[in-house]
Each structure stands twice: as structure tokens, then as C-alpha cells.
Homo-oligomer: A and B are copies of this chain.
Amino acid sequence: MTQTTDKTLALDVHGGDHGPSVLVPAALDALKADPALNVILVGRPDEIAPFFDEADALFGQRVRIEEATEVIASDARPRAILRAGPDTSLFRALQLVKEGKAAACVSAGNTVALMTLGVKLLGVLPGVRRPALMSQFPTSGGTIGMLDLGANLNVDAQQLAQFALMGAEVLRAAHPDRPASVGLLNVGHEDGKGHSVVREAHELLKTSDLDYRGFIEGHDIFEGKVDLAVCDGFAGNLVLKSSEGLAAMLFNEFRSTLMSSWRSRLGAWLAKPALKAMVERLDPAKHNGAPLVGLNGVVVKSHGRSGRLASTQAILEAGQEARHHVPERIEAVIEKHERETAA
């Protein structure tokens, strides 16, 4: 089987908390789940090898190792990140995309490093002011996309409007039949609410081609009021992480409550099949894989703590985005928007 570029991903096996012991098996799961996918495992061959022998036999040329002996630390400072070279697994994985040997890069490592080196090696799409980090969350009715989640702490109105255009295109690429409705996060629904940046972005979005529904508030996110929620990276990061923390707390409270007495333990046993289905539907692992939108290439951030299931999900997400040519689609949307607003 010949590897064609738009089916091949470069996986940084040293990013995140778990490394090759989790990421190599996750890659093999992804190869099983998506027969059109190929994976290049980028990292230290001796650390990959223990998990790779079996893969070699099962998947033939669909998986191979690319040597990179160094690792960018999860707490690396910007200066250290900029000094990183092709001997680091993340740099090499991105370089494979740049060289056209892979169509996407996946890493669970340092987000700042992924963004910094992504910009440095792949560059930003024409017309895009700043790339943004996007993710999806489960809602009461389905899922919602949200960006930016931390790549841009200070934004202007033009950037927020671009985040909306780019995020909506990511959703449309995955669901071409469904127009993506967009909301701009604010402290109130009414025109005139919020600071000048969101108010100005609101006016820009009103005149865009998007299915723009106006301002939304925090509680609208999980009510599934729109398909895409847009905000600056500072607020978005706090919402993302506080939501993860709250969900973890509630599930823990719930678990320990059910284990607190003989009677409730029996109740839990009876309710288990139903509860398991619920937990699976809401499992954040199912929604892992946050694209850095606006880069000239598919780059997907996996959660640092991701286990095997979540890592597989991020790899499959990257595979989908590469196949849907998301960067090319974003480039076209931004170019069209720039042309229309200039006219």
C-alpha cells in the first residue's frame, strides 16, 4: 500500500503525560478504526519499539517510525521553544507536514509550543490574523464548537470575527449538510452589552455570510443554543478548564454519594447500565482533538492527560480534517470575506 499525503498523519509520541505507551496503542486503534489512515510515529525509536512490533505486522506500510531523539518539555519557556530543532519530536512532526510527507500533525504536548512552532514552520493562512485553538463540547442536544480556547489572550474585533468564520468552516467541513449557527459570547444578550471589542465584532458578524445568532451568554453554551461559540482565548480557556473541573467534581460527588451506603450501592448497581450510557455520551474523551485553526496545515492538539481512547479520537479528528482539506476551505472563506468587506 502506498502512502498518500492526505491520508498520513505525523504523531508526536512524546507529547502529553503518557507518551508512547499510550499514544502508540492509540495510533493502532485509529488505524483499525479508519482503514484509509496512515500514521508516522515521531519520536525515540527505542521507546516506540516495545509497542510497535505487533503494529508492524498488522498494518504493514500504514505505520512507520520517524526518529526524533529530543522532547520539548511541557513547561518549556517561549525562548526554549523557539530554539527547538528537528531533533525534537514536535518540531519533526510539524516539519513532516511542511515537507508534504504528512497531511496533519497531532500532539498532546505543550500548547504554546504547538502554536509557536506551527506558526514558524507551517505559517498562517493568507489573510488570517491569528490562528486559534478550537474544541467541541457535549451539550444537552449534541455538541458545540468553541474558540478561541487560549491561543490569543488579547483580541480585537476583526480577530473575533475571523474566529467565527474559521470555526464555522471547520464544522461545515465535517457536516456539509448543516449550516453552523454562530454565537458571540458576552455578558448579556442585548445589543450594547459588553466591552467595545465584542460590540464591534457583533456588528462585523451581523454583515457576514454566517448564520449569526448574535450575543450568547455562558449558560447558552451547554444548552446547545448555537453550533459555535466565539470568544477571546483568555475567557475561553477559563470556561474550558472550569467546565472540566466542575464536571469532574460533580461526577466524583455523584460516585462517592452512590457508594456511601448499602442502599445507594444497590441502587447504583441497578442504574448502572443507564448511567454508563450517559457517562459515555458525555465523556470528554469522545470530544478530544482541538484543531489549531488558521495554520497552513492541519494541526490538532490532544489533551495532555489523554488516555488511549481520547488519543485515538484526536488522531481520527486530524485524519478527518486532512481529508476534508480544512485549511484550504478556511483560506477560501477568509479570502471571500476579505474581498466582500473590501468591496
Contacts and interface: CB of A to CB of B under 8 A. Distances in A.
Nearest to A190: B75
Interface string A222-249: 1100000001011101111111111111
Interface in A30-44: none
Contacts of A248: 219, 222
Interface residues of A, number: 61
Contacts of A247: 246, 250
B223 A249 contact: yes
Q: Is the interface of A mostly helix, strand, loop or mixed?
A: helix
Contacts of A221: 242, 245-246
Contact of A242 (B219, B237, B249): B219
A274 B250 contact: no
A206 to B, nearest CB: 20
A258 interface: yes
Interface string A270-283: 11111101100110
A271 B75 CA distance: 44
A218 B235 contact: no
A157 interface: no
A4 interface: no
A268 interface: yes
